[in-house]
Structures are given as structure tokens and as C-alpha cells.
């Protein structure tokens, strides 16, 4: 999807459009990846904090909620956050490799 979207934006809008697409992709990707990585670690640490005896410890309602949060947090910190970095890299690479084509063949711009 990232490759197809980059190619479509490049051929429709030219180099100006691909420049804006790259800027938006990098900025939003950075913020989302940071959020997901930090939120996943936070949920994991919250469960550990409760298991240490705080807020009722193991078996409490807080622990049950923390286990659910940790179930969501593990994929966030382990897979989703780092994979966004790969997506940003792929879009940048495709844009760089096809820059000459985008400059030569585009509908607008």
C-alpha cells in the first residue's frame, strides 16, 4: 500500500506533491511510532507496578485491567511502532528512486 500510494502521488502531482507526501509521512510516522512505542512500554510497566503489590496487587480489578492493557501494549511496543519506521523508509526510498520519472511524467504540478 505504501509503495502504490507513493507512486500514485508522484505520477499525479509530480515532485512538489511527493515532497509534501514525504514531509507528512515522516512527521506523522515519527509521532505515531513514538506514541505506540511509549504507550506499549507504559502499559507493560503499569502491569509490573500492580504486580509488585500496588493498587491491590495480583487478582485485583486493577490487575485484570492491567493485563488487558499489557495485551494491547505488547504488540504496540514490539511490532507496530518499529514497523512504522520501515514504512517511512520504504516511502523515502521509492520516492528517491523514482524522482526522475515523477519529474518527467506527471499529470499536475
* Cα–Cα dist 43/58, whole Å: 15
Examine residue 109 and state whether it is found in any structural domain, yes or no.
Answer: no
Give the burial class of 23: count Cβ atoms within 10 A of its Cβ; 0-12 exposed, 13-18 middle, 19 or more buried: exposed
* Residues 2-29: tens digit of each pLDDT: 999 999 999 999 999 999 999 999 999 9
* Cα–Cα dist 44/73, whole Å: 6
Examine residue 42 and state whether it is found in any structural domain, yes or no.
Answer: yes
Residue 32: DSSP 8-state: H
Examine residue 83 and state whether it is found in any structural domain, yes or no.
Answer: yes
Examine residue 106 and state whether it is found in any structural domain, yes or no.
Answer: no
Angle separating helix axes 81-97 and 2-51, nearest 10 degrees: 160
Examine residue 8 and state whether it is found in any structural domain, yes or no.
Answer: yes
Task: Report the 10 Å Cβ neighbour count for 56.
Answer: 12
* Residues 53-108: tens digit of each pLDDT: 999 999 899 999 999 999 988 888 888 878 888 999 999 999 999 999 999 999 98
Amino acid at each position: 500500500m505504501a509503495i502504490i500510494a507513493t507512486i500514485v502521488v508522484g505520477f499525479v502531482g509530480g515532485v512538489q506533491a511527493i515532497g509534501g507526501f514525504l514531509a507528512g509521512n515522516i512527521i506523522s510516522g515519527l509521532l505515531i511510532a513514538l506514541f505506540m512505542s511509549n504507550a506499549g512500554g507504559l502499559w507493560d510497566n503499569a502491569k509490573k507496578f500492580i504486580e509488585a503489590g500496588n493498587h491491590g496487587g495480583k487478582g485485583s480489578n486493577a490487575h485484570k485491567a492491567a493485563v488487558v492493557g499489557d495485551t494491547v501494549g505488547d504488540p504496540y511496543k514490539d511490532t507496530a511502532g518499529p514497523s512504522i519506521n520501515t514504512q517511512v523508509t520504504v516511502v523515502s526510498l521509492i520516492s528517491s528512486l523514482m524522482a526522475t520519472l515523477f519529474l518527467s511524467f506527471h499529470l499536475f504540478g
